[in-house]
Chains A and B, each alone.
Chain A
Amino acid sequence: MDADLGRLVDALPGLMWTATPDGGAEILGRGWLEYAGVKAEDAPQPGWQQAIHPDDAPSLLAKWSAILKSGRAGEMTARLRRFDGAYRWFLLRASPMTDDLGNVVRWCGINIDIEDRVQAEEAVHERDRHFRSIFDGLPALVTLTSPTGALELANRHVLDFYGVSLDALRSQEAGASFHPDDLPSAAAAWARVQATGAPYDLEARKRRADGVHRWMRLQGFPLHDSRGEVVNWYFLQTDINDAKQAEQKLAAEKSLLEMVARGVPLQEVMEALCRQVEALAPGSYCSILLVNPDGETFSVGAGPSLPGSYNAVLHGKTIDPSYGPCSLAVAIRAPVITADLAKDPRWASSIWPALMAEYGLRSCWSMPIFSMGQEVLGIFAIYRREPNGPTADEQELIDRFAKLAGISIERAQADAALQAGEAEIRQAHSFLAEAQRLSQTGSFIWDVAADDHDWSRELRRIFEFDPAVKVTTPMILGGIHPEDMPAVEALMGAAAQGGDAFDLVFRMTTASGARKHVRVVGHRIEEITDRPVFIGALQDVTRSKLAEEALDRARAELAHVTRAMTLSALTASIAHEVNQPLAGIITNASTCLRLLAADPLNLDGARAAAQRIIRDGNRASEVIQRLRALFTRQHAEVTPVDLNEAAGEVVSLSLSELQRKGVLARTDFAQDLPPVHGDKVQLQQVVLNLVLNGADAMSAIYDRPRDLLITTRCDDGRVRLSVRDAGVGVDPNALEKLFDAFFTTKTDGMGIGLSISRSIIESHEGRLWAAANDGPGATFSFTLPAIFSTQTAETSALGPYMAGVRPVVRQA
């Protein structure tokens, strides 16, 4: 039986064996022996175990024991050593052989060579590991999903990024990691690729493990089977947050710069700037404070997300470095970071942290905004509800946008300055036009050779020329008064032939028949050297001319009034002068009659008395004549005047008045005094005025003689007459005011005298002035041009108040 069995086992193809019920080796088939390279007799009981790979032996034996124990068929795998020493994988199968009672009487086994299969499996596993390591090693977030998008695989980066396990990721709802704002676009993109089968490409924010949303680029590629059906989607997720932020910053900067360039109001630009920064740095609240021109206070530029009441507190706030970081940043011209205001010792004594706390703000970063000239224009501040300082990114953001704020503020300031400048020019222009209108002065530029007249609106109005018509010389000359035409033509001729300035008053008649007096002044523009071009102004002086004439008339009337007043003042003196000779006449006449009636007849006495009557009569007559001359004649009559004679007459006429006033009048007249041109009576009025003034000035003098000295002299071709008193004197500071009409130091005077006197003297081309004496009193003097024998009396000076056409053309 055993031999048969042995032969049977040997005959069976394969590595057969049998074992005893307790597991000991019984028969090893020829196949087995040939494989292991042993002879039957060399294979001792446990010998077969030596062929087992040492690494596999423990598990194999353990398994074999379990099979023995169970009494049922089982399998084991292990590497078995071949005759040549090589190990090959085998599947060891064992089945029990039982007797009728069901007891195991023998184990039959077969070892099946599975080396090739194991090798193949091993290769598969190796590829799998390789794939996995590549998959995980990809420097990107890669996922594999089912055709419907259910997650199947995700590489290590994905799990790291989201901070969850693959299982957890698989159980997440679709879209859970997207930023809520990006969900709709993500869903739309997925729906689109589902419908078209095209690759998926989307930029969206996804929440990272730390809770921060990062911008990711999501690319999906479908994987098709041989029939073209989608079997999987591969997804590639790339973190583009930094690039995206840089892009957004650039876009923000670009849009702000465009606003600045377009000249959008500063307020809008600053608000946009704040909103941009708030978008780029989530959780921030931006504020721009401007340093006011006074340099001492802030005004709120923008703070769109801060509470209005907080902005209101800052508006107009005094810049106080101990108050808060924005003030301090202005003061030290550097950023001030308050990461946690509750813990910052710098504001321990300020009310600012409490104010901030009220709004739930915990940190504030204040960045000075500098101008190109490094002047602090304002503060760019970022507030947060969390107590922390800026990250490097945020710091960079603040730096860049503070610069942008500086650019926008400077641009706005430049715009404002430009606009102010333009407004100023417009205003100046309108002022000029208004001034021209008010002063009735037009301006012009005259290119002589080209006959080009550039006239202002007012000038055209004066001439009544149509604003649209080109002004020409014939047009201008058309309205000139014939008498003034030669002067105007002379002016134009001189201007064309090298004159460099003119000044002329002339008369003209406009188209509407208005008669005007105009004064034109002009000078050559020095910058234009190749040809004569004049710039000038023309004023309508009609009114002032008429006023001047009226003034002349008024002055003449005043002079008359003054004479009348003087006459009244002199009444007593005149009466005295007349009564004196009258008394003589009457007395002599009485005497004459008495002597003629006497017995004996006294003819000699009567004759003497009659002669005295004639003398006194003449004397009275002279007085009357002088008075008449002095007080009645009103029209100027220019003749050569002997000032000694004229003054002597005045002195004798007023002598009695002077005497009454206790004034001792003396004369010191120069011998051979040349005559002067003038109206004798007017000059006498001046002398009388000076004499009476001198007497009045001494009326309150009791401690010294009331001396009045009238002197005439001739020096440097001019005749001078002075009246020196010993009176109260004049205030050296009021010397010129004395000559103002209505200025008077006298309580009973009208102050007209000196003003009229000066106008009379000046109309005689003379000069009248006052001077304080070295001693008491004052001296009033006038000078007049002397006439010498070479001159004739006919070359008379201009009469008083005469004004004429006097062109002034200076030669270049």
Chain B
Amino acid sequence: MLMRKLVSVVDDDESVRESLPDLLRSYGFEVQPFSSAEQFLASASLPLTRCLVLDIAMPGMSGPELQLELTRRRQDIPIVFITARTDEAWPARVLQRGAVACLLKPFSEGAILEAVNSAFDRR
């Protein structure tokens, strides 16, 4: 039952990895943070994740690359992208590829909740 609500957060920024899980947990989600895409792909949480909160710009494999990798692996996990960069075409592109939402940091509590909830609704 708990695992049904697993949200994985992948972000190289520590602030996000520390703050976002606590907030989502306060709303009853099970949250697992990862500091890189590679770490997430290698973890046991991958098949259990029902929503992925994913940073776009990361050293090594970037968020959009992970999105493509999951598609390739036919792991249909709804993704909520988050990014601190405001100057890029990525939000449009990832949405086109099926992302649930793309939030610009800093995002509001309401915005992230709505995005995560719609991810679960999609399932």
Q: Give A contacts to B, CB under 8 Å.
A: 571-572, 575-577, 579-588, 590-591, 594-595, 598, 605, 608-609, 612, 615-616, 619, 656, 659-660, 664
A573 shortest CB reach to chain B, Å: 8
Tell whether, in the assembled complex, residue A580 and residue B13 are in contact, meaning their CB atoms are under 8 Å apart.
yes
Within 8 A of A (CB), among B75-123: 82, 84-88, 104-109, 112
Q: Give B contacts to A, CB under 8 Å.
A: 13, 15-16, 18-20, 22-23, 26-27, 57-59, 82, 84-88, 104-109, 112
CB pairs A–B below 8 angstroms (8 shown): A572-B86, A572-B87, A579-B104, A584-B13, A586-B108, A587-B112, A591-B23, A595-B26
With A586-B107, A586-B108, A587-B20 given, name 9 new contacts (CB 8 A): A575-B84, A580-B15, A580-B105, A583-B82, A586-B106, A587-B15, A588-B15, A594-B109, A612-B19
Residues of A within 8 A of B87 (CB): 571-572, 575
Q: Within the assembled complex, what's the spacing in Å between the Cα atoms of A591 and B18? A: 11
Residues of A within 8 A of B22 (CB): 588, 591, 595, 605, 608-609
Residues of A within 8 A of B13 (CB): 580, 583-584
A258 shortest CB reach to chain B, Å: 98
Known: A591-B22, A609-B22, A659-B59. A572 touches B105 (CB 8 A): no
Residues of A within 8 A of B19 (CB): 583-584, 587-588, 591, 609, 612, 616
Q: Within the assembled complex, what's the spacing in Å between the Cα atoms of A590 and B110? A: 9
B22 shortest CB reach to chain A, Å: 5
A134 shortest CB reach to chain B, Å: 143
Known: A575-B87, A605-B22, A660-B85. A583 touches B16 (CB 8 A): yes
Residues of A within 8 A of B20 (CB): 587
Tell whether, in the assembled complex, residue B15 and residue A612 are in contact, meaning their CB atoms are under 8 Å apart.
yes
Q: Within the assembled complex, what's the spacing in Å between the Cα atoms of A583 and B82? A: 10
Known: A582-B105, A583-B107. A660 touches B15 (CB 8 A): no
Q: Within the assembled complex, what's the spacing in Å between the Cα atoms of A583 and B15? A: 8
Residues of A within 8 A of B109 (CB): 586-587, 590, 594
Residues of B within 8 A of A664 (CB): 59
In the complex, the chain B residue whose C-beta lies closest to that of A608 is B22
Tell whether, in the assembled complex, residue A575 and residue B86 are in contact, meaning their CB atoms are under 8 Å apart.
yes
Most A-side CB within 10 Å, residue of B23, B86, B109: B23
In the complex, the chain B residue whose C-beta lies closest to that of A577 is B84
Known: A586-B108, A587-B109, A594-B26. A579 touches B84 (CB 8 A): yes
Residues of A within 8 A of B105 (CB): 579-580, 582-583
Tell whether, in the assembled complex, residue B26 and residue A598 are in contact, meaning their CB atoms are under 8 Å apart.
yes
Residues of A within 8 A of B104 (CB): 579
Tell whether, in the assembled complex, residue B88 and residue A572 are in contact, meaning their CB atoms are under 8 Å apart.
yes
In the complex, the chain A residue whose C-beta lies closest to that of B18 is A612
Query: Across chains A and B, which 7 residue pairs bring their CB atoms closest together, nearest first?
Result: A584-B15, A583-B105, A590-B109, A579-B84, A587-B19, A572-B87, A582-B106
Q: Specify which of A583, A587, A615 is in contact with B84 (CB 8 Å cutoff).
A: A583
In the complex, the chain A residue whose C-beta lies closest to that of B15 is A584
Tell whether, in the assembled complex, residue A579 and residue B57 are in contact, meaning their CB atoms are under 8 Å apart.
no
Q: Within the assembled complex, what's the spacing in Å between the Cα atoms of A659 and B12? A: 12
Q: Within the assembled complex, what's the spacing in Å between the Cα atoms of A103 and B106? A: 204
Q: Specify which of B26, B27, B88, B106 is in contact with A583 (CB 8 Å cutoff).
A: B106
In the complex, the chain A residue whose C-beta lies closest to that of B58 is A659
B115 shortest CB reach to chain A, Å: 13
In the complex, the chain A residue whose C-beta lies closest to that of B88 is A572
B7 shortest CB reach to chain A, Å: 14
Tell whether, in the assembled complex, residue B57 and residue A590 are in contact, meaning their CB atoms are under 8 Å apart.
no
A579 shortest CB reach to chain B, Å: 4
B13 shortest CB reach to chain A, Å: 5
Q: Within the assembled complex, what's the spacing in Å between the Cα atoms of A577 and B88? A: 15
A186 shortest CB reach to chain B, Å: 125
Known: A571-B87, A575-B85, A595-B26. A587 touches B57 (CB 8 A): no
Tell whether, in the assembled complex, residue A576 and residue B57 are in contact, meaning their CB atoms are under 8 Å apart.
yes
Residues of B within 8 A of A579 (CB): 84-86, 104-106
Most B-side CB within 10 Å, residue of A576, A590, A595, A616: A590
Known: A576-B57, A605-B22. A581 touches B85 (CB 8 A): no
A238 shortest CB reach to chain B, Å: 126
A317 shortest CB reach to chain B, Å: 84
Q: Within the assembled complex, what's the spacing in Å between the Cα atoms of A793 and B59? A: 41
Q: Within the assembled complex, what's the spacing in Å between the Cα atoms of A581 and B105? A: 9
